Amino acid sequence: MPDSWPTAPAHFLTGTEPGAEGILALVDRAIELKAAPLSVRPLEGASIALIFEKPSTRTRVSFEVAVTELGGHAVVLRGDEMQLSRGESPRDTGLVLSRHVEAIAIRTHSDEVVSAIASASSVPVINMLTDGHHPCQALGDLVTLKETFGHLDGLKLAFVGDGNNVARSLALVAGLVGVQVTVASPSGYQLEPLPGLVITDDPAEAAMGADAIYADAWVSMGDEATAAQRLSALAPYCLDDALLDLGAPGAVALHCLPAHPGQEITPEVLYGSRQRIWDQAENRRHAQKALLEAIVRAV
């Protein structure tokens, strides 16, 4: 476990907990594990609870496979299978689960639920996604950027579209290790000010000279009621070849998926040669393996 990480349990809730040194160590370790995916089994005999209160493809597969490749057992719990759905408190859930497993990971709506579980838990808690944060995605994205460019410090990352949980995590986590993050969003969809973050309403301004340009879905889970309004407001923020051309030489397109070709990204970019999107999807697993290795039984 990186020396900069707080004392046990080493929760990973916003992604900033390890500090810059710890994040960089996790990125480098993820790249090592990608090169030799079955080389270590530090979770032998360990069970990891994976709670899914929201639908999932990449997060569930990448975490389940990560736990298996590290030698552990994933206890997958759907929200409708748990007493949480019938009124049991997050505090009680954390107290009970931490008597049985060696880490708890949860994908849910509210950051408060994750914080309450973490406060009660005697084992590490990992935020797999909330409305406010997506730190595991940001960690996997840093792995992709390091693979692509060989370094992180000084890179320029432009996020175009809704200032959502992914944009916030990129600003917090990538910004901590020297990546300059700019988020371009229309009025009403912008992130709150964060240290080092550049906010604009002009996607071309954000993309100018960027090493990577990042898109995400415009209508996420829970946004369906305002879908038409969102699609109209965000239409100028589509990641297409013209926007990518404004980036630095060798600029790449990123997307955390699922994608909606023809909305936030064109099919030509999504499936073309200038993207690292499918590497991103794979690198979630390797980044999460590095994270699990670092925090489970680390103290």
Whether 2 has a pLDDT exceeding 70, the answer reads no
Claim to verify: residue 251 and residue 141 sit in the same structural domain? yes
| 298 — pLDDT class (breaks 50, 70, 90) | low
Q: Which residue in 133, 134, 168, 276 is the catalytic one?
A: 134
Residues 119 and 224 in one domain: no
Residue 13 domain flag: no
Looking up residue 266, the CATH number of its domain turns out to be: 3.40.50.1370
Give the per-residue pLDDT at 3: 59
Q: Are residues 175 and 236 in the same domain?
A: yes
Residues 164 and 234 in one domain: yes
Looking at residue 10, the DSSP 8-state letter turns out to be -
Catalytic residue among 11, 133, 136, 137: 137
- Tell me: the pLDDT tens digits for 195-216? 999 999 999 999 999 999 999 9
pLDDT tens column, 219-236: 877 778 889 999 999 999
* pLDDT tens string 59-76: 999 999 999 999 999 999
Could you tell me if 69 and 204 lie in one domain? Answer: no
Q: Which residue type occupies 283?
A: N
Residue 6 lies in a domain: no
| pLDDT-based confidence at residue 84 (cuts at 50, 70, 90) | confident
Mean pLDDT of the chain: 94
Establish if 4 belongs to a structural domain: no
Q: Averaged over 78-91, what is the pLDDT?
A: 83
Helix extents (H) in the chain:
19-35, 58-69, 90-97, 111-120, 135-149, 165-169, 175-176, 203-207, 227-234, 241-245, 267-270, 277-295
Active-site residue identified among 58, 284, 285, 286: 284
User: Are the C-beta atoms of 230 and 218 separated by less than 8 Å?
Assistant: yes
260 is annotated as an active-site residue: no
4-13, 147-156, 193-202, 268-277: which range is least confident on average?
Answer: 4-13
Active site annotation includes 137: yes
From the candidates 136, 168, 216, 280, give the one annotated as an active-site residue: 216
Residues 127 and 70 in one domain: yes
Q: 97-127, pLDDT tens digit by residue?
A: 999 999 999 999 999 999 999 999 999 999 9
57 within some domain:
yes
Q: Are residues 178 and 86 in the same domain?
A: no
pLDDT for res 273: 98
State the pLDDT at residue 7.
52
pLDDT bracket for residue 1 (50, 70, 90): low
Looking at residue 263, what is its pLDDT? 96
Domain coverage including residue 73: 19-134+284-295
> Does residue 112 sit in the same domain as residue 167?
no
Residue 5 lies in a domain: no
Q: Is residue 242 part of a domain?
A: yes
Report the domain count for the chain.
Answer: 2
SS3 of residue 241 by DSSP: helix
> What is the model's pLDDT at position 82?
82
pLDDT confidence of 4, banded at 50, 70, 90? low
Q: What is the pLDDT of residue 275?
A: 98
Instruction: Flag whether 84 is in a domain.
Output: yes
151 annotated active-site = no
Catalytic residue among 133, 180, 230, 256: 256
Looking at the structure, tell me whether residues 244 and 128 fall in a common domain. no
Domain shared by 180 and 80, yes or no = no
In a shared domain, residues 120 and 177: no
| pLDDT category of residue 299 using cuts at 50, 70 and 90 | very low
Q: Tell me which of 29, 58, 107, 285 is the catalytic residue.
A: 107
209 within some domain: yes
Residues 111 and 187 in one domain: no
133 in Cβ contact with 113 (< 8 Å): no
Predicted confidence (pLDDT) per residue in 242-292, tens digit: 999 999 999 999 999 999 999 999 999 999 999 999 999 999 999 999 999
Percent of the chain with pLDDT over 70: 95
Q: Do 50 and 63 meet the contact criterion of CB atoms below 8 Å apart? A: yes
Tokens of 11: 């929760």
Please give the pLDDT value at position 8. Answer: 54
Give residue 23's pLDDT band: very low, low, confident or very high (50, 70, 90).
very high
